[in-house]
Amino acid sequence: MARLLSFAAFILSIAASPSYAAANEGDLLNGGKLVLTNAVSSIEGASGGGIATWATISGLETDGGIGVTGHVTMIELPDYGWQSQGVAIGIANRVELSYARQNFDTRDVGTTMGVGQGFTLNQDVFAAKLRLAGDLVYGEPLLPQISVGVQHKRNLDGAVTTAVGANSANGTDFILSASKLILSQSLLVSATARYTEANQTGLLGFGSAAGKGYDFQFEGSLAYQLSRRAVIGAEMRTKPDNLGLGEDDWMDLFAAYAVTDNVTVTAAYADLGSIATFENQRGAFLSAQIAF
Amino acid sequence: MFSIMLALVMLQESPAENIDWDKEFDVEETVRDPVTGEFPIEPFSQDNANAGAEPFDNAKIARYFGGQEGIRKIAERTVELSEQDPRISAIFVARDTVRLKRTLFEQFCYLLNAGCDYSGRDMMAAHAGLGVKMADLNALVENLQQAMGEQDVPFAVQNRFLAKLAPMSKDVVTR
């Protein structure tokens, strides 16, 4: 009996010791993803390439953990300046919640548009993504990681979106993505269908007063892994032209490098076509991301 | 709390001097094979299919690995790196790493079509009860990548080999 009691006390003392508790809470911000498999932050704040959303979940966490990501992005164009920043939380490599703020400087175009030189269009993007099936790297080679997402966008310049003929300053995009790293070819392939009524991703509002609304758009990325830390690729993204301003599809050529396991920098040449009738908006895309 | 524990400790009767505790708790001491240096394991049916994937159909990839000698170095180095890796070293404590180095070499050598048979257990049996998490597998992959890098295996070739291993994750990751 005494032996049994002392054994029980021994078990209790182990259970109450701090080291045992520590072993159970070690997954928070503890990382664990393979380098670059958290992808980078797309312009809408969701994990993806530069302009395309992927099925990846942000943050370095794996099954049991929580990860966080922050990013800043700038795009320098002939007539405009894009700047955005955002944060994202990844939960158990299953759920992603993100927020991004986009600031689009109209520079001299602002004068032409009658809103004033250097007028900046602002937009908030609140997004959620859920991984439904598959794994980017592991599992069946032919089963990609598949995610669904929703991106709620709130344009803060309703007067401008109304003036250019948009139906609304707020809108919601619905997203279905499939992404896979095809290891045998060192290739990452990603395809996304986006159900959206956003004009210039929402910076010029949503739909048109004339009645144009939701339609399916496509985002595709193809990337080649040069090393554990370096990847180069190309992306394209189709866009609607609800406003009749000649809105073009987007494309970019990018290189991303994981400077450390936590920091990724992305540089790209982006062709954003015509924006509000100002054509040939091609320029440099730069983004930095920190993730845990 | 402490005083209660102290009291409980005091309550213990001191054990007799000449008790064979191994016998008392049915502990059987296992000893390493004097030739191979490995601990014996439960018998199982040996089959190359246990390697978990079809091998490459020629030895071209194996040449980038430096043949059997290079493959052995990579397999052993992967185990050594993992034993020293604070993220996953606990998984290898009390494992027979002598045997693991041999079977991992055989598995790699078989899959790379470098002229070996695989004599180990299948991936599910070999990892049963290890409690491997996805993060642990990723750490192991990084160690394998480092070992391959040290043998100057080109990155694209490393990935071709990892493509053979990646689908096995479902049998390796158990929690």
Residue of chain B nearest A138, judged by CA positions:
B166
- How far apart CA A225 and CA A144 sit, in angstroms, is 17
Q: Give the residue-averaged pLDDT of A89-100.
A: 97
Residues 6+ apart with CB under 8 A from B139: A32, B82, B85, B87, B88
Q: How many CA atoms lie within 13 A of A66 on its CB side?
A: 5
Strand A120-133 and strand A145-155: the pairing is antiparallel
Q: Does the beta-carbon distance from A139 to B11 stay under 8 Å?
A: no
The pLDDT value given to residue A91: 97
The pLDDT value given to residue A7: 53
Confidence of residue A25 (pLDDT cuts 50, 70, 90): very low
- Burial label for A282, CB within 10 Å (0-12, 13-18, 19+), is middle
Q: Does the beta-carbon distance from B169 to A135 stay under 8 Å?
A: yes
Q: What percent of chain A has pLDDT over 70?
A: 91
Chain B residues inside the 8 Å CB shell of A93: 134
The pLDDT value given to residue B86: 96
- How far apart CA A186 and CA B161 sit, in angstroms, is 11
Q: Give the residue-averaged pLDDT of A172-177.
A: 98
Q: Is residue A63 a contact partner of residue A93, using CB atoms and an 8 Å limit?
A: yes
Q: Does the beta-carbon distance from A62 to B4 stay under 8 Å?
A: no
- Does A87 have pLDDT greater than 60? yes
The DSSP bridge partners found for residue A76 are A81, A284
- Does A56 have pLDDT greater than 90? yes
- Does A14 have pLDDT greater than 60? no
Backbone dihedral angles phi then psi of residue A131, each to the nearest 5 degrees: -80, 120
Nearest to A190, CA basis, from A201, A178, A182:
A178
The pLDDT value given to residue A204: 96
The pLDDT value given to residue B94: 85
Q: Give the residue-averaged pLDDT of A245-262.
A: 97
Residue length of chain B = 175
- Does A27 have pLDDT greater than 70? no
Confidence of residue B18 (pLDDT cuts 50, 70, 90): confident
Confidence of residue A112 (pLDDT cuts 50, 70, 90): confident
- Does B30 have pLDDT greater than 80? yes
Q: Give the residue-averaged pLDDT of B11-17.
A: 78
- Does A6 have pLDDT greater than 90? no
Confidence of residue A9 (pLDDT cuts 50, 70, 90): low
Nearest to A51, CA basis, from A244, A213, A281, A242:
A281
Nearest to B155 among A9, A141, A226 (CB): A226
Chain A: closest CA distance from residue B167 (Å): 4
Q: How many CA atoms lie within 13 A of A257 on its CB side?
A: 5
Chain B residues inside the 8 Å CB shell of A5: 8, 11
- Does A8 have pLDDT greater than 90? no
Q: Is A122 on the interface with B (CB under 8 A)?
A: no
Chain B residues inside the 8 Å CB shell of A59: none
- How far apart CA B25 and CA B22 sit, in angstroms, is 5
Q: Give the residue-averaged pLDDT of B49-76.
A: 97
Chain B: closest CA distance from residue A35 (Å): 9
- How far apart CA A6 and CA A139 sit, in angstroms, is 47
- How far apart CA B106 and CA B121 sit, in angstroms, is 11
Task: For residue A253, give both structure tokens.
Answer: 């050529």
Chain B residues 111-170 within an 8 A CB cutoff of chain A: 133-135, 137-139, 141-142, 145, 155-156, 159-160, 162-163, 166-167, 169-170
Q: Which residue has the tokens 């794996």?
A: A62
Chain A residues inside the 8 Å CB shell of B9: 6, 9
Point out the least confidently predicted range of B29-43, B56-70, B81-95: B29-43
Nearest to A216, CA basis, from A232, A236, A240, A234:
A240
Confidence of residue A24 (pLDDT cuts 50, 70, 90): very low
The pLDDT value given to residue A17: 47
B155-165 vs B134-150: helix crossing angle, rounded to 10: 140
pLDDT digit string (tens) for B87-116? 999 999 989 999 999 999 999 999 999 999
Chain B residues inside the 8 Å CB shell of A186: 155-156, 159
Q: Is residue A183 a contact partner of residue A138, using CB atoms and an 8 Å limit?
A: no
Confidence of residue A2 (pLDDT cuts 50, 70, 90): low
Confidence of residue A71 (pLDDT cuts 50, 70, 90): very high
Backbone dihedral angles phi then psi of residue B128, each to the nearest 5 degrees: -60, 135
Q: Is residue A117 a contact partner of residue A110, using CB atoms and an 8 Å limit?
A: yes
* Residue A257, Ramachandran bin (φ over 0: left; ψ between -120 and 50: alpha; else beta): beta
> Which ipTM was obtained for this model?
0.86
Q: Is B90 on the interface with A (CB under 8 A)?
A: no
- Does A15 have pLDDT greater than 50? no
The 3-class secondary structure across chain A, one letter per residue, is CHHHHHHHHHHHHHHHCHHHHHHHCCCECCCECCCCCCCEECCCCCEECCCCECCCCCCCECCCCEEEEEEEEEEECCCCEEEEEEEEEEECCCEEEEEEEEEEECCCHHHHHCCCCCCEEEEEEEEEEEEEECCCCCCCCCCCEEEEEEEEEEECCHHHHHHCCCCECEEEEEEEEEEEEEHHHCEEEEEEEEEECECHHHCCCECCCCCCCCEEEEEEEEEEECCCCEEEEEEEECCCCCCCCCCCCEEEEEEEEECCCCEEEEEEEEECCCECCECCCEEEEEEEEEEC
Residue of chain B nearest A6, judged by CA positions:
B8
Nearest to B8 among A5, A34, A62 (CB): A5
The pLDDT value given to residue B10: 78
